[in-house]
Copies of this chain bind each other. A is one copy, B any other.
């Protein structure tokens, strides 16, 4: 007996050289949380599997990966609109987060994970506070996560130790679905010594680092003025990149940063909706890729991105890169799908385990329904994936071989309870007391 058979679906293949095509009428055989085989329908005997899903008319693809989020921030969504980045931080986000209690993170994480399971997002690299609570939510939801407890220099050595404890406590938990790393907030909120302290813990624990760097060009300019170094150069000088590192945003990366990022294999998390909404310009994705630097998709938090929908990130990335390059011929559909799959897996440090439906890979699989009228007639499945697919087109979400959503029904989370729990605190969460902000933005 094996665990799960997905019968008679299309299977999206994205090759390392960025070709994308669909195998028709194939089965996916899953056992021990991994893909055992992908083969033409008709060869596997359904009676040999504990569970069979009929994939007829559906397209299987790797579960989507959100390479940078602050998932529990969904509890504040819609509270900071149409404001400058400075006001977004100083008058909204950081005052709002002074209301945060551990229980908010537990329920907020569940809320965001429910949204992501519904959208076919199976992995998230999350960067937030009270992360024990976030980890408990991931354990319950059944998804995969790379978790870091966000800390600021103002938190002192105590918070370095606290976040290192979190790393040690949860590394490999939930059947290996949870991995952890150190998560200093940014070079502008953590001085060099503080970054070094984080690095030391990361080295001691054998984990990576997840940090905001060069989020937008203003930060890069400020760093150059203050220290003659770009924020990426600062991180390198501190030695941060000696550990596997995820950088969020890097819209302010300069040409001189490219060889540094390439040399250390630093991964870039790209969240284009945030960049548009906050008018941050865009990241040099094409240049990262020309330099062999991995780029993965992200949503950032829901207070800037509003949703945790990686489909929207996918198409916005493709479109904003075309616009930035003044050429509709760049960032093609196959390349966009490569970034959404294999490259995002590289960014979160699982290049040979996620991002493809191949034997030996972890069984994080989603089934997408392209029969909706907004896809018809379906001349190109790959074009529809990038430009037409909505979160609501995802029918089934599987992580580690376990079905988390079947036919739009969540199986691990109680949405009604989650919503009730979060709503109960809306008034408290929406309070803004500027002098109670958790930090000051002044890069």
Contact = CB atoms under 8 A, between A and B. Distances in A.
Given A309-B374, A319-B276, A380 B79 contact: yes
Secondary structure at the A interface, as helix, strand, loop or mixed, is helix
Q: Which of A84, A88, A392, A415 has the most CB of B within 10 A?
A: A392
Contacts of A79: 379-380
A419 B322 CA distance: 32
A376 B423 contact: yes
A329 B388 contact: no
A276 to B, nearest CB: 4
A377 B422 contact: yes
B322 A118 contact: no
22 contacts: A78-B378, A78-B380, A78-B383, A81-B387, A84-B328, A88-B328, A119-B374, A275-B323, A276-B322, A276-B323, A277-B387, A281-B326, A306-B383, A306-B384, A307-B387, A307-B388, A374-B391, A376-B419, A376-B422, A379-B430, A390-B390, A390-B391
A373 interface: yes
A380 B281 CA distance: 26
A333 interface: yes
Nearest to A376: B419
Interface in A104-131: 111, 114-115, 118-119
Interface stretch (A7-15, A69-77, A354-362): A69-77
Contacts of A38: none
Contacts of A319: 273, 276-277
Contacts of A88: 328
A171 interface: no
Contacts of A111: 373, 376-377
Contact of A78 (B85, B328, B379): B379
Contacts of A411: none
A306 B380 CA distance: 11
A378 B82 CA distance: 17
A320 interface: yes
Q: Which of A279, A320, A391 has the most CB of B within 10 A?
A: A279
A311 to B, nearest CB: 10
Interface of A: 74-79, 81-85, 88, 111, 114-115, 118-119, 273, 275-279, 281-282, 306-309, 319-320, 322-323, 325-329, 332-333, 373-374, 376-380, 383-384, 387-388, 390-392, 415, 418-419, 422-423, 426, 429-430
A291 B46 CA distance: 67
Given A373-B115, A377-B423, A379-B77, A320 B276 contact: yes
Contacts of A114: 373
A419 B373 contact: yes
Given A78-B384, A118-B373, A390-B392, A322 B277 contact: yes
Contacts of A379: 76-79, 426, 430
A309 B332 CA distance: 22
A404 to B, nearest CB: 14
A384 B118 CA distance: 18
